[in-house]
Amino acid sequence: MIRSIIVFCISTLALNAFGEQVALERWTLEKVVTRASEQTPEIYALEKDIERAENLAQQAGKWDNPEASVAYGPMTQSGLSGRALDVSVKQSIPLFGQKAIAERLGEQNRTTIEAENKKQRLFLKHEVVRLAYRLSALEEQAKHIEHRREKIGLIAKFLETRPFASPSQAVEKNLLMNRLREVEEKFLDISLAKENAWRALNVFLNLESRIIPDVQWIGNAKPIDREGLWELCQSQNPDLQRGESMIAAAALEAEQAAKRGLPEIKIGGNYNEQTADFPQKIYAGTIDFTLPIFDRGGYAKQAALAGKEAASRRLEQKRRELKSQFDQAWMELAQGKKRIELYPLSLVEDLESQMKRAEQNWKRGLVQVTAFLELENQVHEQAVKVFNAQIAYNEAARQIELLAGNEFKPAGN
């Protein structure tokens, strides 16, 4: 009697859980990504980083403010009193392209930040898609386990109602109860995994209530142009773009350092008026310049050239790493395609049909319970592999798109 109550309660919980799942709102991937882009503080921060770099680049090209001085006061000369006024204005003149280099260097630094931000922004968006696929797959696996739990529970309940059970039937009942316990444990595991996946996704979505991503499962993965993707990786990979920008910035720093060997020029004007003794007015133009004797920027130039060489070496290292990462992701994508062919989505329906036939034959006494439970376990494992294959293929596709610097687009179909 107690076992019957337990089985009934478990079956009721499964039905309630299924009903709650159906009630959840379904969002397309495009809607999920749009929401994440609007709600993720890091993406907003990346936009502000670029805005900051743009303003600094423009500021670097601005001329220095002019210098002005005024002196006024009483004076005495040859025993006579009067007043003196002295006014001067000076302006630094950016000769030899120094301001232009500073502005170009600011723009190059902005390009470097844009490449860094592009990588982070793409990673965040592809991570949202990856988590959405994983959550959706876990939802499907959870529904499958709920169905298993309900079905085995009903069969166990059916055996409980049999009067005068034989020793063989008692063993069958124990086998079913043990399997029900295992299924219950799997349901707890999948529920925890599903909850963790939702929490990870909701970090980007910031929603009060749960949703289910309505992803597009991959039926027949279309061929992908490997060479075309590799060319994209070499031309628009954010890490390579950042490395190239750092080399260009180091070259500008070396050019800027070389300009320190040239004099800095200030031109100005001066007006002087005196009223004591013999009143006089003096107008003068001035030119001030530095003498680059002690510091001609030699060490700064060598430092910049060393930085350029270091950036070039690091870029070469990044190219090698990119090739390795691309080859690995491509291999995983190919393996994922083969797994989808082994475990297509249509297999889930076929597996359910196998279980229905096995259950009917078991009730007729044509199939032993051990064979039924073995088939049930195989059906479960293969149904799980169907969605694991989907996850593996999608994650490999996400990695390749990220390496190629591409924005999100649904994989496969």
409 domain residue, yes or no = no
Closest by CA to 6, choosing from 105, 149, 104, 128, is 149
Averaged pLDDT for residues 38-45: 88
**Of 182, 164, 160, 184, residue with least CA distance to 172:** 160
Average confidence (pLDDT) over 400-413: 75
Is the model's pLDDT at 19 over the cut of 50? Answer: no
Helix axes 238-258, 226-236, angle to 10 degrees: 30
**Phi/psi at 145 (5° precision):** -70, -35
202: which residues sit within 8 A by CB, 6+ positions away?
210
Residue with the larger pLDDT of the pair 340 and 78 = 340
What is the pLDDT averaged over residues 91-110? Answer: 86
User: Residue 331 has what pLDDT?
Assistant: 94
Q: What pLDDT does residue 162 have?
A: 66
Enter the pTM of the model.
0.77
350 within a domain of the structure (yes/no): yes
Residue 24 confidence (pLDDT) above 50: yes
Query: Around Cβ 233, how many Cβ atoms within 10 Å?
Result: 23
Distance CA 185, CA 154 (A): 17
Residue 413 lies in a domain: no
Residue 162 lies in a domain: yes
Quick one: pLDDT band at residue 152, thresholds 50, 70, 90? Answer: confident
259: DSSP letter: G
Spatial distance between the Cα atoms of 137 and 343, rounded to a whole number of angstroms: 14
- The tokens describing 216, both together, are 């597009």
Does 151 fall in a domain? yes
Highest average pLDDT, of 54-58, 151-155, 303-307, comes from: 303-307
Q: Are 98 and 117 in contact (CB under 8 A)?
A: no
Residue 7 has pLDDT above 60, yes or no: no
pLDDT tens digits, one per residue of 362-391: 778 788 888 888 888 888 899 999 999 999
CATH code, 251: 1.20.1600.10
- Structural contact between residues 282 and 110, judged by C-beta atoms closer than 8 angstroms: no
CA distance 69 to 291: 24
Kindly tell me if the per-residue pLDDT of 21 is higher than 70: no
Residue 8's pLDDT is 42
For residue 355, give the nearest of 337, 372, 335, 370 by alpha carbon: 372
Query: What whole-number distance in Å separates Cα of residue 365 and Cα of residue 359?
Result: 10
pLDDT per residue as tens digits for the range 224-263: 788 988 999 999 999 999 999 999 999 999 998 888 888 8
* Mean pLDDT (the chain, rounded): 85
Q: 263: domain range?
A: 2-403
Helix (H, G, I), strand (E, B) or coil at 87: strand
The most distant pair of C-alpha atoms in the chain lies apart, rounded to whole Å, by 140
Let me know: does 43 contact 121? Beta carbons within 8 Å: yes
How high is the pLDDT of residue 412? 43
- How far from 350 is each of 110, 246, 344, 354, 382, CA to CA, in Å? 56, 56, 10, 6, 11
Q: Which helix (H) or strand (E) holds 76?
A: strand 67-77
Rounded Cα–Cα distance for residues 406 and 395 (Å): 14
Q: What does the pLDDT look like over 336-358, one tens digit per residue?
A: 999 999 999 999 889 888 888 88
Asked if pLDDT for residue 308 goes beyond 90, the answer is: yes
Instruction: Report how far residue 127's alpha carbon sits from residue 371's, in angstroms, rounded to the nearest whole number.
Output: 42
* CA distance linking residue 346 with residue 244, whole number of Å: 48
Count of the separate structural domains present in the chain: 1
- Whether 408 is covered by a domain: the verdict is no
Query: Is residue 412 in a domain?
Result: no
pLDDT tens for 126-144 read 999 999 999 999 999 998 8
pLDDT at residue 4, as a whole number = 45
Q: Distances from the Cα of 301 to the Cαs of 218, 304, 305, 307, in angstroms?
A: 55, 5, 6, 10
Provide the pLDDT for residue 22.
47
CA distance 303 to 282: 48
Question: pLDDT digits over 159-203, tens only?
Answer: 777 665 677 777 777 888 888 888 889 999 999 999 999 999 999
Which of 47, 90, 51 is closest to 70 using CA atoms?
90
Q: Domain for residue 386, yes or no?
A: yes
- Residues 192, 116 contacting (CB under 8 angstroms): no
The span from the first CA to the last CA of the chain, in angstroms, equals 52
State the pLDDT at residue 410.
52
Contact between residue 356 and residue 99 where contact means Cβ atoms under 8 Å apart: no
